[in-house]
Chains A and B, each alone.
Chain A
Amino acid sequence: SSGAKMRRTVPRGTLRKIIKKEKPQLRLAANTDLLVHLSFLLFLHRLAEEARTNAFLDKSKMIKPDHALAAGKVIKPFKS
């Protein structure tokens, strides 16, 4: 469903490196990085939708920093 233009390969090595940088001791079982990717995709999706809504409400034709900033405040990485 999420379009054709976007390159759909997962930067698996990069993802693992990012987590390795945060938690050098932590090991990832096979293919868990794919679900990390999935959750990040959906995070960006939520963030983009929210930023887009903010831009619309602001009658702006492009997403500006404030729109992204407000979106980032609403779309917390995790609900806790």
Chain B
Amino acid sequence: PLQSLQAKLAAKSSGASHRRPRETGIVSSWVKKVFSHYAKMPVTRDAFRIVEKCSERYFKQLSNDLEAYANHAGRKTVEMADLEVLLRRQGLVTDKVPVQVLIEHHLPLEYRKLLIPMAVSGNKVIPCQ
């Protein structure tokens, strides 16, 4: 058992880990869960692989765009405003559907509280922008 563990550790620290970092597993199971929730019907294993590929491409594009927006504004940090531009470009935020509505519909309360400005005790306001 010790030997196999060592072999495992060695494999992890070798080149293989560069191609397949530990997060990949977490991401793929999470993507799987969310997708099958929305799909409401069985999804074949190979179809999941396609969905994963699409997700990878999605994050690649998203990162590029966020970088471009931040750079354009002369920043090194992505701000909320950049995310709003992004959601707008994706056609998710429109004049009829403001970002707050999306947040209210899709994020659990604990996160909504972090994003939507609201008066909390002590007259403190958690900012959104």
Contacts and interface: CB of A to CB of B under 8 A. Distances in A.
Nearest to B83: A35
B42 A61 contact: yes
Interface string A57-72: 0000111110111001
The prevalent SS among residues of B at the interface is helix
Contacts, number: 178
Residue in B46, B51, B66 with the greatest tally of chain A CB atoms within 10 Å: B51
For the side of the interface on B, what is the size category? 35 or more
B101 to A, nearest CB: 11
Interface residues of A, number: 56
Contact of A34 (B57, B60, B111): B111
Contacts of B79: 29, 32
Interface of A: 1-3, 5-11, 14, 17-19, 21-23, 25-29, 31-32, 34-45, 47-49, 51-52, 55, 61-65, 67-69, 72, 75, 77-80
Lowest 5 CB-CB distances: which A-B pairs, in order? A48-B38, A22-B63, A62-B42, A35-B83, A68-B50
